[in-house]
Chains A and B, each alone.
Chain A
């Protein structure tokens, strides 16, 4: 390859790019094999894909208006007209569960999009700058970690006032410190590696190193962790909704729907149990998927 004088650098670069691409394809191929080999991961993926499809096609799938109250049809059992029955206000439970999937995705995604970047920022700053900055930021996250997550989320949800937006903020407040710790540990490991030294010698500024070289390296760890947390986030949101501190009526939020049916548990079991089943299935899906992702990214699995 180096027999053409004057052009080796160009050839090398193309060659490197080709090798890199091949390696990436191989790694994707391995991931796919590992994914397919584990039925649990496949099941999780299918559940989540199904959830996203339902949320996207909600207007097509729903048989009724999720907010429309037909009081003469209240508390009807599941039938051909109302697939999952009706609730205490005569709303179609099936359609409400279908539309509720949108809320569930919205909550999980927004909490991840708020608490993830905050954790990333705090973690990289604390790990890279070190010293007093590190000390202050980590003490701060210690304080938040001193509260059980659900309690902190409930406290902030109550303090900010009930409602979907405030609940999302409250869960994010309880969620970021864990990410900050994780990213900080990752940053500490990266900071002292040779290539960071090399970039610094080349004259890169600290801001550039943090932004372009440390942050991307922390990204994959953080994404795995966030995907593992998705199920827990949804459970906290549903719990808050159930207690009346999260989404407010008439939102078709699943936790709230379980709570609506509490008084009709004995004779109209479907009002509470079916939305709860939806929560269980979706959270299970995220947990199965997260479990699988962790296995796939675990290098020890790759040698086999």
Chain B
């Protein structure tokens, strides 16, 4: 396990260095002159020149890259041109909302994905198997942004069952910020009215985002469950007279979880992508919407910093999944230790 960990961390270092290069490259190819954006269209030539020196745009590329890496090492992602605050501060501000949304969505996808996957494996080729296949296929084919609009149209505009886009009713005050996640903070503050309202606001975006991940989990759960159910030890468990549901849960699902865990981890990463579109539609003040605004307004530092942070998060999630997988399935560690 230790050797495997070292090997993984070693390749992680290269990838992180690569991410820094790609994001720097990104900032180089953006055609817009960022100085014009900072100084405004009417700024006199001298002001622009002075800003060029202040921001270091007058230096050759390799010096700029060196400074860029130096800044990254100090956790300095620069200032956002839009909000006039440090990008890192912005991201830390917006991230908890995304984390909250992604976690609820994750719970939805895991619970329903596993349920569908297991049921369709146990009742293979029955109507429930076909139904779950259709749900999965429609789930992966659905334009997230369109589904979000449809649900808003039906449940907010037409039926009025669920609240307007946003995170909280404008008449309510946010609880004191502890984690930045409204559901957690309101529990800490003991403010149940806010908790209930925040939950209602989170429901639709979480369902939309959850459907995004559900299909993959259901599919993997089904196929690994099918593999497991043909094993000898399942027969043994049945022969010794164990109740069928115990066979399926204790002997089947537990072993089918190994490949499923990988998929769950990957799904968590893909929720970060889904968040970009979902948050835009539901006016959810998270990282996804922050990034979209940055992209649309060509807010250079926010684009570079935000993209980099998302990549790092994605990387960390994948690493954790790999480690968990290696822990659950020791053969992997052994195989990589040999080469």
Contact = CB atoms under 8 A, between A and B. Distances in A.
Of B146, B150, B303, the most chain A CB neighbours within 10 A belong to: B146
A156 interface: yes
A168 interface: no
Interface residues of A, number: 48
Contact of A276 (B14, B143, B310): B143
B84 interface: no
Contacts of B15: 139, 142-143, 146
Interface string B256-286: 0000000000000110110011001000000
B149 A159 contact: no
Nearest to A283: B141
Most B CB atoms within 10 A — which of A231, A238, A239?
A: A239
Contacts of B181: none
A40 B131 CA distance: 12
Interface string A219-236: 000000000000110010
B243 to A, nearest CB: 32
B interface majority secondary structure: helix
A295 B201 CA distance: 41
A150 interface: yes
A140 interface: yes
A281 B149 CA distance: 17
B143 A279 contact: yes
A178 to B, nearest CB: 13
Given A143-B19, A239-B277, A243-B277, A155 B143 contact: no
A243 B141 CA distance: 18
A140 B149 CA distance: 38
A284 interface: yes
A265 B141 contact: no
B140 interface: yes
Interface string B18-39: 1101100010011100000000
A69 interface: no
A161 interface: yes
A287 B137 CA distance: 7
Which of A147, A152, A159: most chain B Cβ within 10 A? A159
B22 A144 contact: yes
A63 interface: no
A231 B146 contact: no
Given A140-B18, A146-B15, A146-B18, A151 B137 contact: no
B157 interface: yes
Given A147-B307, A148-B310, A287-B137, A159 B143 contact: no
A216 B145 CA distance: 39
Given A151-B291, A159-B26, A265-B153, A142 B146 contact: no
B142 A265 contact: no
A48 to B, nearest CB: 13
Contacts, number: 140
A148 B98 CA distance: 15
Nearest to A275: B146
B138 A284 contact: yes
Interface string A124-144: 000000000000000110111
B296 A243 contact: yes
A142 B17 CA distance: 11
Contacts of A243: 276-277, 280, 292, 295-296
Contacts of B142: 280, 283
A246 to B, nearest CB: 11
A121 B295 CA distance: 32
Interface stretch (A92-100, A112-120, A266-274): A266-274
A40 B130 CA distance: 10
A245 interface: yes
Given A142-B14, A151-B273, A258-B149, A158 B295 contact: yes
Given A231-B141, A235-B143, A147 B310 contact: yes
A218 interface: no
A265 B141 CA distance: 22
Interface string A23-44: 0000000000000000010000
A149 interface: yes
A149 B331 CA distance: 30
Contacts of B146: 258, 272-273, 276, 279-280
Contacts of B292: 154, 243
A255 interface: yes
B149 A276 contact: yes
A140 B11 CA distance: 12
6 contacts: A139-B14, A146-B315, A150-B276, A154-B291, A239-B143, A259-B145
The 4 closest A-B pairs by CB, nearest first: A143-B18, A276-B146, A284-B141, A150-B273
Given A143-B18, A239-B277, A276-B149, 14 more contacts: A40-B133, A139-B15, A146-B315, A147-B307, A158-B303, A160-B31, A231-B140, A232-B140, A239-B276, A259-B145, A265-B157, A272-B149, A273-B146, A280-B141
